């Protein structure tokens, strides 16, 4: 059995979205960052956090509210993206800890939004695509969505699906499942 040590940040973001293309002049922006800290040695979820982020180049559509439950009024009360990234580095040691997300969307969204806004990318190079590792661990032919993966692992869906805070918590449960199967790995990305 591999003895992993240290802490892992599991991250899930929600972003502004629409049923089709964004309205003219708008672009996808992070509106919630969910983060769960996992102790790799004890294989436990330690803490669950949600950071509401105020968008500046888009608004929350009706579709986005139906999907995430987040409203424009709620995100208007959030912190700006630069503050959220600083919080990740100061409160969650994001540059120093490995991190994981369900797929590459979250990592790509951070990279895109950081480049577009001039904000420093808050994470270090050690990122694991938990969806890929789960798929390999369970010898699946197709990569499942998080809710289907929870069913396959016989784990409950806690909270509200498509809320970053709750999804990060659920993804962390899947990470622990893969750790228990001795199939976890941390990869380095550019």
pLDDT tens digit string along 27-42?
A: 999 999 999 999 999 9
Q: Which domains does the chain have, with CATH numbers?
A: 7-180 (3.30.420.10)
Residues 175-190 have pLDDT tens digits of 999 999 999 988 887 6
Span 63-85, mean pLDDT? Answer: 98
Is pLDDT at 105 greater than 80 in this prediction?
yes
At 186 the pLDDT is 87
CB-neighbour burial class of residue 23 (10 A; exposed 0-12, middle 13-18, buried 19+): exposed
Strand pairing report for 99-101 and 127-129? parallel
- Give Cβ neighbours of residue 10 (< 8 Å, ≥ 6 apart): 35, 36, 37, 38, 99, 100, 101, 130, 168, 171, 172, 175
Cα-based angle 23, 115, 81 (whole degrees, multiple of 5): 75
Neighbour tally for 61: CB within 10 Å: 17
d(CA 111, CA 78): 20
What's the pTM? Answer: 0.96
């Amino acid at each position: 059995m591999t003895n992993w040590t240290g802490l892992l940040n599991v991250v899930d973001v929600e972003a502004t979205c629409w049923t089709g293309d964004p309205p003219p002049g708008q672009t996808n922006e992070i509106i919630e960052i969910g983060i769960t800290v996992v102790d790799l040695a004890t294989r436990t979820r330690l803490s669950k956090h949600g950071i509401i982020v105020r968008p500046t180049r888009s608004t929350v559509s009706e579709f986005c509210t139906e999907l995430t439950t987040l409203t424009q009024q709620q995100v208007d009360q959030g912190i700006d993206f630069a503050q959220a990234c600083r919080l990740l580095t100061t409160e969650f040691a994001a540059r120093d800890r490995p991190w994981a997300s369900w797929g590459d969307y979250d990592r790509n969204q951070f990279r895109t939004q950081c480049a577009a806004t001039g904000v420093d990318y808050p994470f270090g190079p050690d990122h694991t695509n938990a969806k890929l590792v789960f798929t390999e661990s369970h010898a699946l032919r197709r990569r499942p969505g998080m809710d289907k993966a929870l069913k396959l692992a016989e784990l409950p869906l806690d909270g509200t699906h498509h809320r970053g805070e709750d999804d990060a918590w659920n993804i962390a449960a899947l990470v622990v499942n893969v750790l228990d199967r001795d199939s976890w790995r941390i990869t380095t990305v550019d």
